[in-house]
Amino acid sequence: MKKIINQPSSVLDEMLNGFTYSHDHLLKRIENTGVIYRTYKEQGKVALVSGGGSGHEPSHAGFVGKGMLSAAVCGQVFTSPTPDQILEAIKVADQGVGVLLIIKNYSGDVMNFEMAQELAEMEGIEVQKIIVDDDIAVEDSTYTAGKRGVAGTVLVHKILGAAAEEGLTLEEIKTMGEQLVQNMKTIGVAISPATVPEVGKPGFQLKDDEMEYGVGIHGEPGYRREKIKPSKEIAVELVTKLKTAFQWQQGDHYAVLVNGLGATPLMEQYIFMNDLQALLKDEQLRIDFKKVGSLMTSIDMAGISLTLVKLVDEKWADYLKHEVTTAAWI
C-alpha cells in the first residue's frame, strides 16, 4: 500500500483538520467529532444534514455551505458515524424550523441517523428524513437492505439545498426529496478497487484486463465482471440499464451526472461524457443540466458512475443551477 498518510488510525482526524483549515472561511469542525458545519447562518430556514463513512470525499463535507448542506457528519472510513455525533450535527445546524436528514441507504447509516433523529426530537428539535437509494445495479448487497445510496445523493443535496434557501417548509422539502429519489437512478463500473488505509490491501481483486459493472462505493460486488471495454461500449451498457429502469420517452427532460470514483482522471470522465451525449441524443432526451467530476468517490477506486434524474418538476433544473458557496461544488 502506497499512500500519502501518517498513521492509518489517524487518517480521519488529520483529514478533517486539513479540510477545515483549508476552508475556514466557509465552515468549522466541532472539536473531537466528525461534524463539519457551515459558518453561514440563515435563521428561519430549514437545515439539511447528511453524512456517512469517510472515503467518499468530497462527499459530504465538501457540500457544506450556503445553498447546500448545513452540516455533515464524517464517520471512520466506510463506517457510519455514531448517533451522538449525528445529534451534535443536528443541534448545530438547526435554525429554528427543523432539520432534514439526507441518508444513503446503508443499514448502519439508516439505523444511526434514525436513532439521532429520536434523540433530537426528545430535545424539541423537529427532524424529518429521506433515504437515498439511487443505485440500480443490485439490491440487498453488502451492508444494504434494498438499493444502495450513491452519487445521486449529491444532487439531492443540491436541489433540496436550493429549496431550503428559497424558504420552503420542512414538510415541503421532505416531500420534494422523496419525489426526487423516486426519479433518480445511478449505475457505475469499476476498473480497479479501493484500498482502505487501516486494512492495507484492496477490498477486492480485478485482473489488469478486467472491469466490473455495478460495484458499490464501498467495494460491494456488482452484477457482471468481464474484459475491459472501450468507453463507448461501457456507455452503451449503462445507458441501456438506465433506459430499462426509467422507461423514458422521447422528449423527456433529464439531468446528468458523470461521477469519477476517485482515481479516474477528468480526461477519461470527459471522454465518457462525449460518448454519453451521442447516446442521449439518439434517445431524443432533453438534457437540461449536466455535470462532470469526482463528487462521490471510493478512496482510490478507478471507475465512473452515471446518474440520471428525470426532471418531473421544472424547478429542479433551476435548483441544480442555483449558485452555492461550498468547498466542492464548482
Instruction: Return d(Cα 302, Cα 261) in angstroms, integer.
Output: 6
Task: Given the residues 23, 56, 60, 253, select the one marked as catalytic.
Answer: 56
* Active-site hit among 23, 60, 157, 218: 218
Q: What share of the chain is helix, strand, coil (3-state, %, to 5)?
A: 35, 25, 40
Helix count and strand count (H, E) for the chain:
8, 12
How far is Cα 122 from Cα 278, in angstroms, rounded to an integer? 53
Contacts 24+ apart (CB under 8 A), 1-4: 1/195, 1/197, 1/200, 1/201, 3/195, 3/197, 3/300
How far apart (Å, rounded) are the C-alpha atoms in residues 284 and 252? Answer: 8
Positive or negative torsion for Cα 294, 261, 252, 104: negative
56 is catalytic: yes
Q: What angle do CA 179, 149, 294 make, to 5 degrees?
A: 105
- The number of CA neighbours under 13 Å toward the Cβ of 183 is 21
Q: How many CB atoms within 10 Å of residue 271?
A: 17
Helix (H, G, I), strand (E, B) or coil at 2: coil
- The Cα 227–Cα 206 span in angstroms is 10
DSSP strand pairing (302-310 vs 184-192): antiparallel
Rounded Cα gap, residues 119 and 121, in angstroms: 5
Reading the block at residue 40, the C-alpha cell is: 453561514
Q: Is-cis flag, bond preceding 322, omega within 30?
A: no
How wide is the angle at C-alpha 183 spanned by C-alphas 97 and 194, nearest 5°? 90
Residue numbers annotated as active site: 56, 218
